[in-house]
Chain A
Amino acid sequence: MESIVRHSANGNTGPQQGEVLVSVRHVSKKFCRHLRLSMGYGLLELLGNLAGLKVKKDALRRGEFWALNDLSFDLRRGEALGVLGLNGSGKTTLLRLLAGIMPPDQGEIMVRGRVGALIAMGTGFHPHMTGRENIYVNGTILGMTRQELDAYFDDIVDFAEIGEFLDAPVSTYSSGMRARLGFAIATTFIPDLLLLDEVFAVGDVVFRQRCLERIQQAIDKSAVILVSNRPEFIEMLCNRALWLDKGKIVAEGDVEEVSGRYTEETSRHSALFAMRSGTSREGTGDVRFTDPVKVYGSASGVSEIAIRGEDLVVEVPFVCNKPWSEVRFSIELVDLVMGIPLTLADCEVPEVTADGLLRCAFSSLPLLARTYAIMLKITHAETALDVWRYAASVDVRRASPRPSKKVRKYPHAITVDIGEASYQFNYEAGSAAVRVA
């Protein structure tokens, strides 16, 4: 596939900001679902080639599907494109086509300059050879010369932090070490085009941090394509995003916009999925939340939608089937993309003897633009009276301020009305509860 290699007219001017490094035009790729059929087609094509025939590639044969369908985009030096999509949407296939591992079935791909690829992390090493030997072999495969490898050798070893394992066979490395070594080889000598596939899926926090820095360095000098199903990494690193679904481009453009739409869409799906799965309610039921759960932004007043930065109000009635003392109410917002509880508001009342209403107002919530599930709990010490996962959901629409990751508890005010009594609590950021009345 390297057959058509030519040098561009400005061969001596060196890297230029803004020059087009990748051009994808109406590219499609099809795959076969069945191994046997796939092998059969392969054999047919081989026989066809032997007879000097071209195989027609426009139509789908039995068992085939379009893994990529009519993709077109350009990428310039200095741009970082994040590719979003669920598993099986064609992200890795796209990278493989760009790396030249497989040819497209339709369309044309132009890639200018040296390509560094990290597809299938930690592979490509020969297990019996030492780290040192593998650095030379893999570096050479990536197109580095012996001199370049000699010059960058120490950098690679430093970044990979393999230290005393340098002369041990790679089969003795941990998966993290392999990932580090692979990443170091592919990125130490910064290529013109860097292809990264789910690099954040392996390795610890420290390594991830250093990967981020390294990629940021690369973006200045080259074009980067980052595939991930974690939109937060793409938002952090990329300036453009491409959303693939079943091999087609759903959206392409500004990273905030595309990523926002993607997370909204996917988190809504996962929220619905979680709510439908029957395990969302536990507890004795002595004191129990009931419908209707009201969630709305204080400014918009529209239910289940909040604008990032404005106040978010959660209102939910509860019934008392059996009186309890020292009852704690808590509200959690669960980030459905990450699957972790993000924000917690809680308060404790001396006793619950009658039905009532819980009202909580979070002020200026710095949430991400995505769907959050609301999880409600009523507890007495270790006893769960009511645990209601996915009581409701709220779509946070994007607005200006960036979320702060340091604060765990955000300012909020809670009112609990029980019968005639009313309790009020105010919370400052990160501080303990202050009972107002």
Chain B
Amino acid sequence: MHHLLSQQVRVYRPDERHELGWFQTWIVMARNMVRSRELIWQLFRRDFLASYKKSFLGITWVFIAPVLGILSWVLLQQTGVLNAGTLDVPYPAFVLIGTTMWGLFMGFYNAAQGTLEVGKSIVMWIHYPREALLIKQVAEQLANFTITLAVTLLVLLVFGVWPAWQAVLLPLVALPLFFLGAGIGLIGSLVAVVAIDLTKLANVVLGLLMWITPIIYADNIPHPLLQSLIEWNPLTYLVCSARDIVLYGRLYEPTGYLIAAGVSFLIFMTSWRLFFVSEGRLTERMI
């Protein structure tokens, strides 16, 4: 094992990553990820545990967040501040599962956006495949999401809502959320190194997108501007499909979903390539 590794030859020269074609880029990155699975595991364990190690409440945070969230939405709806439109499931259940899926998207985005930043402490020390960091970030996000989802489903049962059996397809249905979130996030991660303001702006804009995604209200609110905004927002199809597969066992407008999924995939592949050719030259500016 050692001798094999010891004969590994690395060549560093300017723009060598540009010399690889797009298709090769993805293969090399995928291979790097497989190679660094041990590293991914170690970093995941370290950061996932560390995030709970320093807090008194520890893992309880996972339960507190959705409960507080749900309370505030219900308060807004009950007081009539928020007009949620007509729904066929109890509002708390509707809003909880919707915001959970939105949280999944934002989680992917934030995870990817932090890819270079979390590696900062080791960036100036030795070379290692940065792709590993993305996977570690996403894995951490998924671990948190799994716990949140379990809590969410529990709450759904309390409201008498049984998830559809098609909910087992969620990992597949939510995949485009990963592509879009991580795709935008990876670019954000690169931009954050040289122009942190742009990344902050992107964070705000993405946060605002939630208001034109029908997750805290139904999509049947008769307002023409809101309707067209909802219609053109790809997250409408992606987030609502993830929600609806759990609630009703169906996709939210399959055609819209498929188009949005395709676009997300392209965005991800493009930003992956961009990340691949740019990270080396950008991380040197982090030192």
Contact = CB atoms under 8 A, between A and B. Distances in A.
B195 A192 contact: no
A16 to B, nearest CB: 10
A49 B274 contact: yes
Interface residues of A, number: 64
B281 A8 contact: no
Task: Give the contact-size bracket for chain B.
Answer: 35 or more
A38 B193 CA distance: 11
B14 A104 contact: yes
Contacts of A140: 38-39, 42
Contact of B10 (A11, A100, A104, A119): A100
Given A1-B16, A42-B282, A42-B285, A113 B191 contact: no
B5 A114 contact: yes
Contact of B4 (A11, A50, A192): A11
B190 A101 contact: no
A137 B49 CA distance: 13
Nearest to B54: A128
A350 interface: no
A101 B127 CA distance: 5
Given A5-B8, A117-B125, A140-B42, A145 B1 contact: yes
Interface in B40-72: 42-43, 45-46, 49-50, 53-54
A112 interface: yes
A277 interface: no
Given A99-B126, A101-B126, A123-B121, A114 B11 contact: no
B209 interface: no
Given A2-B129, A101-B127, A137-B43, A112 B193 contact: no
Contacts of A11: 3-4, 7
A39 B194 contact: yes
Given A111-B10, A123-B121, 6 more contacts: A96-B287, A101-B124, A107-B13, A120-B124, A129-B49, A148-B2
Interface of A: 1-8, 10-12, 14-15, 38-40, 42-43, 45-46, 49-50, 54-55, 57, 96-97, 99-115, 117, 119-120, 123-126, 128-129, 133, 136-137, 140-143, 145-146, 148, 192
25 contacts: A2-B127, A11-B4, A43-B194, A45-B278, A46-B278, A54-B15, A96-B287, A100-B10, A100-B12, A102-B281, A103-B13, A103-B16, A104-B13, A108-B13, A114-B2, A114-B6, A117-B126, A119-B124, A124-B126, A126-B46, A128-B53, A128-B54, A129-B46, A129-B50, A141-B128
